[in-house]
């Protein structure tokens, strides 16, 4: 597979067919843009989907990963082999209900999905994927695929699932080769909220023992939804905020009319520069209004762009739940969740933007803070879900910033 000619990588029948002695029939294919074909076994939605393939190294939280709107337009390959073994439930969803088409388009899995074994499970991953329209493939050598992504970058691909195993391989190769690159794609419109909504949901206890708080006693936060994850809204609520989620195209005037104590810029899919065409003017206006602002991931990248910086496409990206990040403001190292394929080029930032966080894997920028306005943002995911909770303090940092500025304003 790592040779020059496109290869066909066969599924491992010993691990992935119920009858290992039988001649395996490939019931799903992952076809990369360079013509490489990975054969496997279909799971989930029967049909064809396409997108950019990225690998995620998290060992837990596949349901949260599969429903994270930041992955819209992408196919996720899991480096952890046993996906689906704890089934699925109705709580571990990261996209908002009102987002019509959110989360990954395809899932690539090493081992056959076993019968779910967990007290919280309400359905098998297969049926759950079907219900969400996600095309899946098992029996893939995900280590070889990950090595390929590490060496060559994230490829575009087509994923096809047909129980009869009838594939027009040449047509799938042509479709994969013709896919637009991720650069230049604004993927926010299908995943953003259609209308402004108050976040009223109570915080789910198993998520870490958080309680719920009566609405109306908190700091007023307007969250611009570029594809926001639920756990961000939960943690803002837990930190004492009354959150209103607004569509990505909401004007600065409409936001300021809501008299917010702070504005939150959410995570989301696609190329930040493409979304920035309409998001950046709004963010600039909000920063000039001196409203306290906190951004996560895409929100961080948009903040960088609003300051006149630029974003760059990464080679393999960062997608996992054990990335070390250093907080320069405290000197502490935190282990964080990451999910991004673009990064802010710190050299492009103006002097008023201090680099607060940096990845200890590759030195890439992971955070910034403004010296002249109450605003900061991080590239990683302090809300985790899945992942460690080391960075939860950032929600408190935002609340402190809002409290300080509430008194001043």
Ligand X SMILES: NC(=O)CC[C@H](N)C(=O)O
Interface characters, 59-88, with ligand X (x: CB under 6 A): -----------x------------------
Scored b (16 or more CB within 10 A) or e, 242-274 reads bbbbbbbebebeebeeeebbbbbbbbbbbbbbb
381 is catalytic: yes
Helix (H, G, I), strand (E, B) or coil at 116: coil
- Closer of 80 and 226 to ligand X (Cβ): 226
* Interacting span for ligand X (CB under 6 A) from 217-225, 261-269, 356-364, 366-374: 261-269
Query: Within 13 Å of residue 375, how many CA atoms lie on the same side as its CB?
Result: 27
Place of tokens 């590490």: 150
298 is in an annotated binding site: yes
Does 55 help bind ligand X (rule: CB under 6 A)? no
Based on the shown chain and the rule CB under 6 A, indicate whether residue 26 belongs to the binding site for ligand X.
no
> In the complex, what is the shortest distance from the CB of residue 342 to ligand X, in angstroms, rounded to a whole number?
4
Sign of CA dihedral 250, 220, 302, 380: negative
The residue with tokens 């990505």 is 248
CB 356 within 8 A of CB 367: yes
In terms of CB distance, is 45 or 340 closer to ligand X? 340
Instruction: Report if residue 297 touches ligand X, rule: CB under 6 A.
Output: yes
Which residues 6+ apart lie within 8 Å of 278 measured at CB?
Answer: 248, 249
Nearer to ligand X, 44 or 341 (CB): 341
117 is in an annotated binding site: no
Residue 193 touches ligand X, criterion: CB under 6 A? no
Which position among 218, 268, 276, 386 is part of the footprint of ligand X (CB under 6 A)?
Answer: 268
279 binds ligand X (CB under 6 A): no
Contacts of 129 (CB under 8 A, 6+ apart): 43, 44, 45, 66, 107, 135, 136
The distance from CA 401 to its chain's CA centroid, rounded to whole angstroms, is: 26
**Residue whose CB is less far from ligand X, 148 or 232:** 232
Distance in angstroms (rounded) separating the CA atoms of residues 347 and 324: 21
Q: Is 85 annotated as a binding residue?
A: no
- 339 is known to lie in a ligand binding site: yes
Give the footprint of ligand X on residues 83-142 (CB under 6 A): none
Check residue 157 for interaction with ligand X (CB under 6 A).
no
Residue number with CB closer to ligand X (43 or 154):
154
298 scored as a contact of ligand X (CB under 6 A): yes
**Residue whose pair of structure tokens reads 């990248």 in the numeric block:** 301
Return the residue of 40, 262, 269, 387 that touches ligand X, per CB under 6 A: 269
Beta strands in 109-205 (DSSP E): 135-138, 156-161, 197-198
Q: Nearer to ligand X by C-beta: 267 or 385? A: 267
| Active-site hit among 54, 241, 297, 366 | 297
323 binds ligand X (CB under 6 A): no
The piece of 26-34, 102-110, 134-142, 266-274 that touches ligand X (CB under 6 A) is 266-274
106 is in an annotated binding site: no
The 10 Å Cβ neighbour count of residue 150 is 12
Give the contact letters, 326-365, x = binds to ligand X (CB under 6 A), - = no: -------------xxxx-----------------------
Question: Which of left, alpha, beta for 153 (phi over 0: left; psi -120 to 50: alpha)?
Answer: left
Whether the CB-CB separation of 395 and 264 falls below 8 Å is answered with no
CA distances from 47 to 43, 102, 118, 163, 223 (A): 10, 17, 29, 10, 35
Task: Determine which one of 45, 319, 357, 381 is catalytic.
Answer: 381
Does 156 appear as a known binding residue? Answer: no
Active-site option among 39, 52, 334, 383: 383
Distances in Å between the Cα of 112 and the Cα atoms of 43, 121, 131 are 9, 18, 19
The answer to whether the beta carbons of residues 75 and 235 sit under 8 Å apart is no
Q: Which range, of 27-35, 130-138, 165-173, 269-277, touches ligand X by CB under 6 A?
A: 269-277
Annotated binding site for L-glutamine: 70, 268, 270, 298, 301, 339, 341-342
Which residues are annotated as catalytic? 297, 381, 383
Q: Note the residues at the interface with ligand X (CB under 6 A).
A: 70, 267-270, 272, 297-298, 339-342
């Amino acid at each position: 597979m790592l040779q020059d000619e496109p290869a066909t990588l066969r599924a491992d029948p010993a691990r992935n067919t119920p009858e290992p002695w039988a001649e395996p029939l490939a019931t799903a294919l992952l076809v990369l843009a360079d013509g490489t074909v990975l054969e496997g076994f279909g799971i989930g939605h029967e049909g064809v989907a396409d997108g950019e393939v990225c690998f995620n190294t998290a060992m837990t939280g596949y349901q949260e990963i599969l429903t994270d709107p930041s992955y819209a337009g992408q196919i996720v390959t899991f480096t952890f082999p046993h996906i689906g073994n704890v089934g699925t439930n109705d709580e571990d969803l990261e996209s908002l209900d009102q987002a019509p088409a959110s989360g990954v388009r395809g899932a690539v899995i090493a081992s056959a999905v076993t019968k779910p074994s967990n007290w919280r499970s309400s359905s098998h991953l297969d049926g759950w994927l079907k219900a969400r329209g996600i095309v899946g493939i098992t029996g893939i050598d995900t280590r070889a695929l990950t090595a390929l992504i590490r060496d060559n970058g994230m490829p575009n691909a087509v994923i096809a699932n047909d129980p009869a195993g009838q594939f027009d391989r040449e047509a799938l190769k042509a479709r994969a080769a013709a896919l637009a690159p991720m650069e230049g794609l604004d993927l926010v419109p299908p995943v953003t909220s259609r209308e402004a909504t108050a976040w009223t949901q109570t915080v789910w206890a198993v998520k870490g023992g958080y309680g719920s708080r009566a609405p109306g006693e908190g700091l007023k936060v307007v969250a611009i939804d570029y594809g926001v994850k639920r756990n961000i809204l939960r943690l803002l609520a837990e930190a004492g905020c009354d959150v209103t989620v607004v569509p990505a195209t909401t004007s600065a005037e409409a936001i300021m009319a809501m008299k917010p104590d702070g504005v939150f810029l959410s995570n989301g899919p696609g190329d930040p520069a493409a979304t920035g065409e309409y998001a950046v003017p709004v963010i600039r206006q909000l920063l000039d209004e001196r409203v306290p602002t906190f951004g996560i991931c895409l929100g961080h990248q948009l903040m960088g762009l609003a300051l006149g910086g630029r974003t760059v496409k990464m080679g393999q990206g960062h997608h996992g739940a054990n990335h070390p990040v250093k907080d320069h403001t405290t000197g502490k190292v935190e282990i964080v969740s990451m999910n991004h394929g673009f990064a802010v080029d710190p050299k492009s930032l103006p002097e008023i933007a201090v680099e607060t966080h940096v990845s200890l894997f590759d030195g890439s920028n992971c955070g910034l803070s403004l010296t002249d306005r109450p605003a900061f943002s991080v590239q990683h995911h302090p809300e985790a879900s899945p992942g460690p909770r080391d960075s939860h303090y950032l929600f408190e940092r935002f609340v402190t910033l809002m409290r300080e500025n509430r008194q001043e304003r």
